[in-house]
C-alpha cells in the first residue's frame, strides 16, 4: 500500500510522499503569510525528519520575518499524521492543508483560511514545477508548488498579540527527499507595486546527477492568471550573478525573458535537512526586494519591485556561477 500511495502522490506534489520511507528522508511544507499592508510577514513550516540513525521526529518551524527570529517546535514522529487521498497533514493539535491552517503552538494559536488558491498547472508528463524530473527516483530533493497566490482570511495570536491576516496574501510550496542542495539561490514574492495579482518564485541549484552534477533551475512568474515558466527542462537559459548584497538572475526562453535583481536584507536562521536529519542551517529573509522585468518578443510587458520577498543564498554559491 505504501508503494501505491507514493505512486499516486507523484501526480499530486502537494500530498505526502514519504509512505514507507523510514530513514534518510524529510518532507516539509512552506506557508508564507503576509498581512494586508505588509505589517506582518511570517512563515510556518510543518514537516517530518527521518534520519539515517536516531529517532525520527516531526516539527513545525515558525519564522517572524519582520522581527528576524525563528522557533523550532519538535514533536514525536507518531503525531505526524498525513492523509493518503488528499493534501492534509496533522502535527499534534495543528492542521495543514491547501485550504487552511489551524495552529495550537506555544505562543502561536489561530486559524487561517486560503481563498482563490493558484496551484501550479498539471500537464501530461509534468505533474508539477519539476516537469519530467518528477519521475526520476534518485533525485536528492523534489520541489512542489501548492499555491502561487491566494488570499488569507483569519487571525493569529502570536506572542500575546493578535495579528489580523484577513485580506493578506499567501504562498505555499514544499520539498521532500534526502537533503537540500549543497548550494542554491531561492527567491519569492507576491507583493509588487505594479499590481497585486502577481507571484514570482525562482531558484538555481547544484543538482547531483549520476555521479556528477548539473546546475538546475526552475522559475514561475504568474501575472493576472497567466503563468510564464523558465526551467532546465523547458530548454531555457539562465545567467546568475551573486554580489555582496545583490543577486541577479536572467532567464531566457526563445520568446520570453525574465530579469530579476534581488537585494538581500536581514534574516534569521532556519533548520534544513541533511540526509533526512534537520541539522543544517539556512539564512532566510522575508524583507528582501526583487526588481523584476518580463519581456515577451522583445517587448517589456511587466516591470515592478517585489516586496516582503523571501530570499535564501546558501552554500558555496560560486559553484552555481562557475
Residues 6+ apart with CB under 8 A from 264: 245, 246, 247, 285, 288, 311, 313
Cβ-based neighbour number of residue 106 at 10 Å: 9
- Separation of alpha carbons 133 and 150, rounded Å: 26
Domain ranges for the chain: 2-321
Tens digit of pLDDT at every position of the chain (322 positions): 898 999 999 999 999 999 999 999 999 999 999 999 999 999 999 999 999 988 999 999 999 999 999 999 999 999 999 999 999 999 999 999 999 999 999 999 999 999 999 999 998 889 999 999 999 999 999 999 999 999 999 999 999 999 999 999 999 999 999 999 999 999 999 999 878 899 999 999 999 999 999 999 999 999 999 999 999 999 999 999 999 999 999 999 999 999 999 999 999 999 999 999 999 999 999 999 999 999 999 999 999 999 999 999 999 999 999 7
Please give the C-alpha separations between residue 279 and each of 72, 205, 315, in angstroms, as whole numbers.
12, 20, 14
User: For residue 201, what is its C-alpha cell?
Assistant: 518564485
What is the signed CA dihedral for 36, 189, 71, 89, rounded to 10 degrees? 90
- Separation of alpha carbons 199 and 268, rounded Å: 23
For the purposes of burial, counting CB atoms within 10 Å of the CB of 286, is it exposed (0-12), middle (13-18) or buried (19 or more)? buried
pTM (2 decimals)? 0.97
Amino acid at each position: 500500500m505504501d508503494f501505491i500511495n507514493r505512486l499516486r502522490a507523484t501526480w499530486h506534489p502537494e500530498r505526502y510522499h514519504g509512505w514507507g520511507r523510514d530513514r534518510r528522508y524529510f518532507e516539509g511544507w512552506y506557508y508564507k503569510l503576509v498581512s494586508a499592508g505588509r505589517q506582518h510577514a511570517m512563515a510556518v513550516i510543518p514537516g517530518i525528519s527521518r534520519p539515517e540513525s536516531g529517532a525520527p521526529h516531526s516539527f513545525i518551524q515558525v519564522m517572524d520575518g519582520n522581527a528576524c527570529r525563528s522557533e523550532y517546535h519538535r514533536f514525536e514522529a507518531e503525531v505526524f499524521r498525513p492523509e493518503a487521498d488528499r493534501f492534509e497533514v496533522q502535527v499534534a493539535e495543528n492542521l495543514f492543508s491547501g485550504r487552511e491552517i489551524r495552529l495550537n503552538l506555544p505562543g502561536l494559536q489561530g486559524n487561517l483560511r486560503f481563498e482563490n488558491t493558484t496551484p501550479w498547472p498539471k500537464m501530461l508528463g509534468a505533474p508539477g514545477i519539476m516537469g519530467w524530473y518528477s519521475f526520476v527516483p534518485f533525485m536528492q530533493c523534489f520541489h512542489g508548488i501548492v499555491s502561487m497566490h491566494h488570499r488569507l482570511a483569519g487571525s493569529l495570536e502570536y506572542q500575546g498579540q493578535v495579528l489580523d491576516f484577513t485580506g493578506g496574501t499567501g504562498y505555499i510550496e514544499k520539498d521532500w527527499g534526502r537533503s537540500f542542495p549543497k548550494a542554491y539561490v531561492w527567491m519569492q514574492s507576491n507583493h509588487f507595486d505594479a499590481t497585486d495579482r502577481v507571484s514570482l518564485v525562482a531558484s538555481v541549484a547544484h543538482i547531483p546527477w549520476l555521479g556528477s552534477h548539473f546546475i538546475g533551475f526552475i522559475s514561475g512568474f504568474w501575472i493576472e492568471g497567466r503563468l510564464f515558466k523558465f526551467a532546465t527542462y523547458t530548454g531555457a537559459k539562465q545567467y546568475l550573478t551573486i554580489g555582496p548584497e545583490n543577486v541577479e538572475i536572467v532567464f531566457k526562453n526563445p520568446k520570453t525573458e525574465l530579469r530579476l535583481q534581488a537585494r538581500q536584507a536581514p534574516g534569521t536562521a532556519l533548520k534544513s535537512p541533511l540526509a533526512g536529519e534537520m541539522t543544517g542551517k539556512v539564512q532566510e529573509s522575508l524583507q528582501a526586494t526583487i526588481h523584476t522585468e518580463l519581456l515577451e518578443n522583445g517587448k517589456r510587458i511587466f516591470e515592478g519591485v517585489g516586496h516582503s520577498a523571501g530570499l535564501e543564498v546558501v552554500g558555496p554559491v560560486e559553484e552555481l556561477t562557475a
